[in-house]
Every structure is written in C-alpha cells, then in structure tokens.
Copies of this chain bind each other. A is one copy, B any other.
Amino acid sequence: MTETVEREIAGPRTYRNSAALVDNADPVWQAAADNGLIDIAVDHESNNRLVVPETGHAFANMCSCSYLGLNRHPAVLEGVVDAVRDTGTIELMTSTTRIRPTIQRRLEEELGDLFGAHALLSTTCSTVTAGLLPLLASGHLAPGGPRVMIFDRYAHFSMAYVKATCAQESLVLTSGHNDIDFIADACRKYPSVAYVADGAYSMGGAAALDQLLELQDRYGLYLYFDDSHSLSIMGERGEGFVRSRTAPGPLTTIVASLGKGFGSGGGVALLHNAAQAEFLARHGGPLGWSQNLSVPTIGAALGSAAIHRSPELGELQAQLRANLALFDELLPTPLSGNGLPVRRIDVGDADRAVRLSTELYQRGFYSSAVFFPIVPKGQAGLRVMIRADMDRSDLTAFAAHVTELSSAE
C-alpha cells in the first residue's frame, strides 16, 4: 500500500498502540515461552503443589490471586454443587435486566449486606468497568454534564481499555501514579472530574485515598476504584481497602472481582442505591446483555459469603498477614509492610527477570516475570502474590532461592 493510504487509514493511537505494545513485549513473551514459562497446563492437589502431568514437574504457585486460598475451600466448592442441584440450571440465558434466578438476587442481597452497599453483579469486573465508565464520562451517573475522566497511569488494563470509549463522551486524561497535584489542578480547571484507579494496585501499592477524599469534599471529584486486589483480605467482613475507609455514595463507586480473594468468580459493583443499579442494568451495555453470571459461580460466591460472616475469615486474614510478615522479613522490598498481598521483586531488565523466573520455576516456584506493558519499561521484575494458604517452609525456601540467584547474577 502507498504511504498516503496507510496514513489515511491509521488511527491516532492516542489511547492504545498495538504496534508499540507488541514490538516491545513480544520478544520478552517469546523468551518466557522459550523457557517454558507460559502455556503451562497443570493438575493440582493444592495451590502449593501444581504438577505438569507430562513431565511430573511440581511447583508452588507464587502468583495466584486467591489470597485467602478460598478457590479450593470446601464450602465454596459445595456452594457450587448445592446451587446446581437446587436450581437445576446453569443460567437462564436471558438478559438479567429482565429475568434472573432468585439465587442471583440472594447473592446481590448477601453482598449488599456484607459490604454495606447496593450490589450489582456481572460476569467479570472488567465487564462492570466497560459498562459503567462511559456512562460516568457522559455525565449520566452524577450531575454536572460530561465529566473529565482522569485515569491513573497504573490503573489496571481493564480500566485503561475503556479510555477510547470514554473519550467518545468526554475529555480523557492520564495522571501520574497517585499524582494528587495533577488531579487537584484538573478539579480547579474543569467543572466535573472523575478519577479512575485501583484501590489496592494489581502490581502493588494503594491509592492515595485520604487525599482523594479531600479532593472529593472540596471539588466534587468522582472516585471510581477497582479494589479487586484487596477484597476479602481486609476489613471485618472482607470489605477491602477502600470500603474499609469510605462508603459508596453519589460520587464514589467501588468495583471488584469476586474471582480473587473472594474465591468465586464474576464481578460486583458496590453502588449507593438501587436506582443506580437499575440505570446501569438498562443502559450499561454488557451489564444488560444476556451474558449471565452463572449459577455455579453464584453458588461459589454464596459459599464464600458464608465464610465472610464466620470467624474463619479473620483467621484466614491473620494467616495472610503472618505470611506477608514472614515474606517481608525474608525479602524486604519497597512494598514491605503495606498490608497488601502483592509484592514485586525489582530486577529492571526484562530478560533478566525472565531468567530469574525460569530458574525459580525449575526449582519449584512459579512467580510471574512482569515487563512492559504490564509494568513500565525498565521496571521489569517478578510479581509474587502472598496467600494465606502458603506454607511457611515454601516461603522460606523461595526467599532463599531468590537471594541466592540474585546475588549470583
């Protein structure tokens, strides 16, 4: 094709740029693949012992988001079986805006009560984001007309993905990570602003919540948090980092995956009233299509909700804290002591991160090598997620291997 035609066809690549993404990341993915680090299929008897059946290679999963180990909890598994036996169905395969099984309403009520909010369910947390954010941008979730949308630079991909869609409705900006000055400036410049961010970040750390709430008080800043990485692990009822500190309201929405600490699957929006939920079910695109949160998943979530009401939740949270304390003692990182379960072992160079991950995998521990675009360029490393159901001996051994391998390089 002539260059002129290509220029005519090519998009602006303001909010995404596949070529930059692929050109940078694919060689590293390929190195990971060459070292056997991706496309691994396993049997497993616990989260600490996954086995590749072809080779018998066994390893501990150091990067599962099942922070409390609920993905294998008997009550969660039995929740699936009970739900399927009781209802005799997988899903209605009808738009849940119109008709849904009573067991789904039961879960909405259960989560609403547990977390002090009006709960809207969907198939995944990214579906909630995809349905909700454009309506926030267009000014349909809060007064003040089209709302300037500020995405934190480190906001999860599932939020960054909808930037272009939001930009159809309003001005979209990207702030530095936790850049309160940038957000404050925008609040002074524009009549209505929203800030879109993780609560607890998928790559570690947390939102600057106190300062953000101050901006909300002063300027009416709308706050949208995906708090998937802290749900269940913090708070008396597992309400998570953000919900422990503030409530959903006319200018605050919290969403979360139920497929991480919570141990089931699907996504939830914690809203401040039923009217907002109904509005989103009507107009929130994927929130209204007939892709249902399945009955088995609802059953798992009900099983998990019961654990959240029992003393066991506190025990599991305490185990997680103890494992985190041990890890932080053995392998101090800049994230040490933050009370959240994601840790990063900084390496810098992507190839070196892949090498380290490979060595560790061979020694029986899978930790994710993370590199651009998962983390910024030059900040490659290993991502480790601490869980309540990790063995202290495994953590100790893992830390020793990391220390040995890092000093050897």
Contact of A88 among B22, B42, B61, B72 (CB under 8 A): B72
Contact of A64 among B63, B93, B123, B125 (CB under 8 A): B93
Q: In the bound complex, do residue B283 and residue A22 qualify as a contact, i.e. CB atoms below 8 Å apart?
A: yes
Q: Mark A111-130, 1 if CB is under 8 A from B, else 0.
A: 00000000000011111001
Query: Is residue A16 within 8 Å, beta carbon to beta carbon, of the partner chain?
Result: yes
Give the segment of A158-166, A234-242, A318-326 that binds chain B. Answer: A158-166
* Residues in B whose Cβ lies below 8 Å from that of A77: 84-85, 88-90
* Residues in B whose Cβ lies below 8 Å from that of A80: 80-81, 84, 90, 296
Interface of A is mostly: mixed
Contact of A65 among B93, B167, B264 (CB under 8 A): B93
* Residues in B whose Cβ lies below 8 Å from that of A260: 93, 290
Query: Is residue A5 within 8 Å, beta carbon to beta carbon, of the partner chain?
Result: yes
Give the segment of A133-141, A175-183, A204-212 that binds chain B. Answer: A133-141
Q: Mark A45-75, 1 if CB is under 8 A from B, else 0.
A: 1010010010000000101111000111000
Query: Is residue A40 within 8 Å, beta carbon to beta carbon, of the partner chain?
Result: yes
Q: In the bound complex, do residue B16 and residue A291 qualify as a contact, i.e. CB atoms below 8 Å apart?
A: no
- CB within 8 Å for A9 and B170 given contacts A65-B290, A99-B366, A102-B53: yes
A238 to chain B, nearest CB (A): 16
Contact-residue size bin, chain A (C-beta under 8 Å from the other chain): 35 or more
A332 to chain B, nearest CB (A): 25
- CB within 8 Å for A37 and B98 given contacts A11-B170, A22-B283, A171-B11: yes
Q: Mark A9-46, 1 if CB is under 8 A from B, else 0.
A: 11111111111011001100100010001111111110
Q: Mark A262-284, 1 if CB is under 8 A from B, else 0.
A: 01110000000000001001110
Q: In the bound complex, do residue A64 and residue B92 qualify as a contact, i.e. CB atoms below 8 Å apart?
A: yes
Query: Is residue A336 within 8 Å, beta carbon to beta carbon, of the partner chain?
Result: no
* Residues in B whose Cβ lies below 8 Å from that of A47: 92
Q: In the bound complex, do residue A135 and residue B296 qualify as a contact, i.e. CB atoms below 8 Å apart?
A: no
Q: In the bound complex, do residue A292 and residue B265 qualify as a contact, i.e. CB atoms below 8 Å apart?
A: yes
* Residues in B whose Cβ lies below 8 Å from that of A76: 90
- CB within 8 Å for A41 and B105 given contacts A1-B191, A168-B16, A296-B297: yes
Give the segment of A143-151, A308-316, A347-355, A398-406 that binds chain B. Answer: A143-151
Query: Is residue A317 within 8 Å, beta carbon to beta carbon, of the partner chain?
Result: no
Q: In the bound complex, do residue B158 and residue A168 qualify as a contact, i.e. CB atoms below 8 Å apart?
A: no
* Residues in B whose Cβ lies below 8 Å from that of A100: 40-42
* Residues in B whose Cβ lies below 8 Å from that of A50: 92, 99
A213 to chain B, nearest CB (A): 23
Contact of A291 among B40, B44, B125, B191 (CB under 8 A): B125
- Most chain B CB within a 10 A radius of its CB, from A5, A70, A76: A5
User: Once the chains are docked, how many angstroms separate the CA of A211 from the CA of B33?
Assistant: 40
Q: In the bound complex, do residue A11 and residue B264 qualify as a contact, i.e. CB atoms below 8 Å apart?
A: no
* Residues in B whose Cβ lies below 8 Å from that of A25: 282-283
Query: Is residue A338 within 8 Å, beta carbon to beta carbon, of the partner chain?
Result: no
Q: In the bound complex, do residue A191 and residue B94 qualify as a contact, i.e. CB atoms below 8 Å apart?
A: no
Q: In the bound complex, do residue A1 and residue B144 qualify as a contact, i.e. CB atoms below 8 Å apart?
A: yes
Q: In the bound complex, do residue A146 and residue B63 qualify as a contact, i.e. CB atoms below 8 Å apart?
A: no
A97 to chain B, nearest CB (A): 6
* Residues in B whose Cβ lies below 8 Å from that of A337: none
A302 to chain B, nearest CB (A): 13
The chain B residue with its CB closest to the CB of A62 is B94
29 contacts between A and B (CB under 8 A): A1-B145, A5-B191, A8-B171, A10-B169, A11-B137, A11-B166, A11-B170, A13-B168, A15-B165, A15-B168, A16-B134, A17-B168, A18-B138, A29-B282, A38-B278, A39-B98, A41-B101, A41-B102, A42-B100, A43-B87, A71-B90, A90-B265, A90-B300, A93-B259, A124-B127, A125-B291, A130-B161, A157-B286, A294-B297
